[in-house]
Structure 1
Amino acid sequence: MPDLSDIMYWLRVLYLVCQASILIPVVAGLIWRRRLPRNLRSLVYCCLMWLVLMSFGEYASWAWGNNNGVYQLVDILEPWFIGAAYYHTLRRPWRRYFPLIGMVFTALALFDYFVLSGLWQAITQTLIFSDKYATLLRYILMIGLLLLYFEQCLSELHPRSLWQDAMFVVSVGFLLFYTSTLMLFLTKHLILGPERRLVFAGLGVVNLGLHVLLARAFWLGRHPPPAVVGAGLPL
């Protein structure tokens, strides 16, 4: 029987390898960036943000034993990049409210982090930090955005397979990612001890899937899709 410490070590390695796979869409996005439409370019910048900040978060955890504040910054920036991608994808008049929604979310998240949840104390005193409401609000916004996109897909007649549409591929990846992490967020108090490492390794595999789908989307986005029959028609 393998030793428990060996299992934990290899689960950690699996998690780090899956996290490092963000390099796949980053390289693909940078290679084809000039040929991508605006929505996909926003996702390239999002991948770059993930790479820089999450790498720094891993370093901060190793060097100082404290990466509080880093992942919270990721959680604030992420909806802006992804929201920008869907702002240039959705064809609904109320998309003009996206910047306002983003500002409200940012203000509420900062209020939660620093007033309700004590992020500053967690940073200065190297405490375990967990926000109260900001993460759940982010999941609601992101999943809601994806559902709006899928509703738009259903309302239009597509001349080709949706799996050849870059934003559809991306949206499937995001939906798998956000639903998986939402389940982890809602049940994290039930997961204790070594099982946490197993769960995070599984989440790493979900990240790997998302990164592969992002890279495929950038590959598909090199050439503009044919015009969509019925696009832009009001419901």
Structure 2
Amino acid sequence: MPHPSNIMYLLKVLFLVCQSSILLPVVTGWMWRQQLPRNLRILVYCCLMWLAMMSFSEYAGWAWGNNNGINQSVEILEFWFIGAAYYHTLRLPWRRYFPLIGVVFTALALFDFFAISGLWQAITQTLIFNDTYTTLLKHLLVIGLMLLYFEQCLTELRPMSLWQDAMFVVSVGFLLFYSSTLMLFLARHLITASVGRIVYTGLGVVNLVLHLLLTRAFWLGRHPPPAAVGVVLPR
């Protein structure tokens, strides 16, 4: 029977491999960025941001013993990148309010970080900073974007399989990832330390799936799909 320490080591290695898989969509998207439509190019830059901030977070934790503030910056940047991608994807009459929603979200996030959750104290005193209300709000908003996109797909006639549509592939990956992390966020107080390692490794596998789907989406996005025809569904 494997020793528990060996199992923990293997889980850690698996988690690191899953995290490192961000290089797949980064390399693929950067190679073909000139051929990609604007919404997918924005997601390429989002992947670059994830890679840069994740690397800086690991360095800060190793060098200074404190990476507080970095992951919180990712929360805000991630929302803007994904929101911008869907701003150029969704055909909603009220999408012009997306920038305003982004500004309000950023203001609420900063208020949460510094006035409610004590981020500044965590930075200066090297304390553990737990997930905040911003995480919950961001996940709900992003999942809402996915649902709006799927509704748009249902109202259009497409001369191709949805799995050949790059943004559909992206949306499936995002929905899988954000719904999984949302459930983990809501149940975090029920998870013990020993089970937590396994759960976070499972989340790493979900992260790997997202990276693979983003890679496929960038590959599909090299050639624009046939234009969809809008239809009105009977009510």
Q: Residue 23 of structure 2 corresponds to which residue in structure 1? A: 23
* 2:201 is the alignment partner of 1:201: yes
Verify the 8 A CA contact 2:155 2:232 in the aligned structure 1.
no
Shift of residue 231, structure 1, vs aligned partner: 7.1
Verify the 8 A CA contact 1:112 1:131 in the aligned structure 2.
no
Letter of the aligned partner of 2:213 in structure 1?
L
- Structure 2 unpaired stretches of 5+: none
Q: Residue 220 of structure 2 corresponds to which residue in structure 1? A: 220
Q: Residue 116 of structure 2 corresponds to which residue in structure 1? A: 116
CA distance in structure 2 between the partners assigned to 1:231 and 1:66 by the alignment: 53
Q: 1:215 to 1:121 in 2, by over 3 A?
A: same
CA distance in structure 2 between the partners assigned to 1:43 and 1:224 by the alignment: 16
Cα deviation 1:173-213 (Å, max 9, x = unaligned):
00000000001000111111221111111000000000000
CA distance in structure 1 between the partners assigned to 2:187 and 2:62 by the alignment: 26
Verify the 8 A CA contact 1:91 1:232 in the aligned structure 2.
no
Shift of residue 22, structure 1, vs aligned partner: 0.2
Shift of residue 229, structure 1, vs aligned partner: 2.1
Q: Residue 9 of structure 2 corresponds to which residue in structure 1? A: 9
Q: Residue 128 of structure 2 corresponds to which residue in structure 1? A: 128
Letter of the aligned partner of 1:182 in structure 2?
L
* 2:90 is the alignment partner of 1:90: yes
CA distance in structure 1 between the partners assigned to 2:67 and 2:163 by the alignment: 38
Verify the 8 A CA contact 1:113 1:131 in the aligned structure 2.
no
Cα deviation 1:84-123 (Å, max 9, x = unaligned):
1100000111000000000000000010001100001101
Verify the 8 A CA contact 1:32 1:218 in the aligned structure 2.
yes
Verify the 8 A CA contact 2:157 2:229 in the aligned structure 1.
yes
Number of corresponding residues: 234
Cα deviation 1:21-49 (Å, max 9, x = unaligned):
00000000000000000000000000000
Q: For 1:1-235, what aligned pairs fall within 5 Å after superposition?
A: 1-230=1-230
- Structure 1 unpaired stretches of 5+: none
Determine what percentage of the aligned residue pairs are the same residue: 76
Instruction: State the secondary structure of the residue aligned to 2:229.
Output: coil
Letter of the aligned partner of 2:120 in structure 1?
W
CA distance in structure 1 between the partners assigned to 2:176 and 2:22 by the alignment: 16
The TM-score with structure 1 as length reference comes to: 0.96
Letter of the aligned partner of 1:163 in structure 2?
W
Q: 1:47 to 1:134 in 2, by over 3 A?
A: same
Instruction: State the secondary structure of the residue aligned to 2:156.
Output: coil
CA distance in structure 1 between the partners assigned to 2:58 and 2:172 by the alignment: 27
Cα deviation 1:147-198 (Å, max 9, x = unaligned):
0000100011111100000000000000000000001000111111221111
CA distance in structure 2 between the partners assigned to 1:179 and 1:83 by the alignment: 17
Q: 1:61 to 1:28 in 2, by over 3 A?
A: same
Shift of residue 56, structure 1, vs aligned partner: 1.1
Letter of the aligned partner of 2:197 in structure 1?
R
Instruction: State the secondary structure of the residue aligned to 2:90.
Output: coil
